């Protein structure tokens, strides 16, 4: 995984903040495209996808791990409890709405729940724009970044 993605939203530069907003916004738009162009077949619980949904799913699958990490680094928890098994007297199960975005409707979770988590994380990064800009022009921020980089280099050389 990219080291930049491993940084908490309060430790990133303005450029990284902007890149994360773009990634999440594009992912949200793809998710909306996917859900607008697919539906659950109630007979056998398979998903029927139109070509636009298939296109969106393919792109989403390529970036889903990075999107998940970016959302979690915004301090957004993406798990929900399904009610599918509750109807049969069982217990609900925890499902991560981002990592399982293509299966949430099978678990009686509306797809807009996943979209909500994505939009919340976009707002976290948007709210952090000014702080990220201040960090970016602060020479002490870059000194800290350099020192962490050197520390990681030394650690890698020791191994």
pLDDT band at 15 (very low <50, low <70, confident <90, very high): very high
Q: Residue 91: its pLDDT value, please? A: 64
Q: Is the pLDDT reported for residue 5 higher than 70?
A: no
Antiparallel, parallel or unpaired: β 79-81 and 94-96: antiparallel
Q: Residue 83: its pLDDT value, please? A: 64
Burial class from Cβ neighbours inside 10 Å (0-12, 13-18, 19+) for residue 49 reads middle
Q: Residue 70: its pLDDT value, please? A: 96
Supply the mean pLDDT for the chain: 87
pLDDT digits (tens, 9 = 90+) for 53-98: 999 999 999 999 999 999 999 999 998 776 655 555 556 678 899 9
Q: Which two tokens stand for residue 42?
A: 């109630």
Domain boundary assignment for the chain: 3-158
Q: Which two tokens stand for residue 49?
A: 């996808």
Convert 76-104 to b/e letters by CB count within 10 Å (16 or more is b): bebebebeeeeeeeeeeeebbbbebbbeb
pLDDT digits (tens, 9 = 90+) for 92-125: 678 899 999 998 877 778 889 999 999 999 999 9
Q: Is the pLDDT reported for residue 17 higher than 90?
A: yes
Q: Is the pLDDT reported for residue 1 higher than 70?
A: no
Q: Is the pLDDT reported for residue 10 higher than 50?
A: yes
Question: How many whole angstroms separate alpha carbon 7 and alpha carbon 141?
Answer: 13
Q: Is the pLDDT reported for residue 153 higher than 90?
A: no
The Cβ-side half-sphere exposure at 156, using a 13 Å CA radius, reads: 6
The better pLDDT of the pair 41, 63 is held by 63
* Cross-strand bridge partners of residue 39: 48
Antiparallel, parallel or unpaired: β 38-41 and 46-49: antiparallel
The better pLDDT of the pair 25, 43 is held by 25
């Amino acid at each position: 995984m990219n080291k930049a993605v491993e940084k908490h939203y309060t430790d990133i530069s303005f450029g990284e903040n902007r890149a994360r907003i773009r990634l999440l916004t594009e992912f949200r738009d793809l998710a909306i495209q996917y859900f607008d162009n697919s539906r659950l077949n109630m007979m056998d619980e398979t998903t029927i996808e139109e070509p636009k949904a298939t296109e969106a799913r393919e792109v989403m699958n390529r970036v889903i791990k990075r999107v998940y990490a970016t959302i979690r680094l915004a301090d957004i928890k993406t798990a929900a409890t399904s009610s599918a098994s509750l109807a049969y007297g069982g217990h609900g199960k925890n499902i991560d709405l981002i990592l399982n975005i293509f299966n949430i409707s099978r678990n009686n979770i509306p797809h807009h729940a996943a979209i909500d988590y994505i939009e919340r994380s976009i707002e976290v990064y948007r709210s952090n724009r000014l702080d990220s800009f201040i960090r970016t022009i602060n020479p002490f921020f870059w000194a800290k970044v350099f020192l962490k980089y050197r520390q990681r280099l030394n650690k890698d050389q020791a191994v």
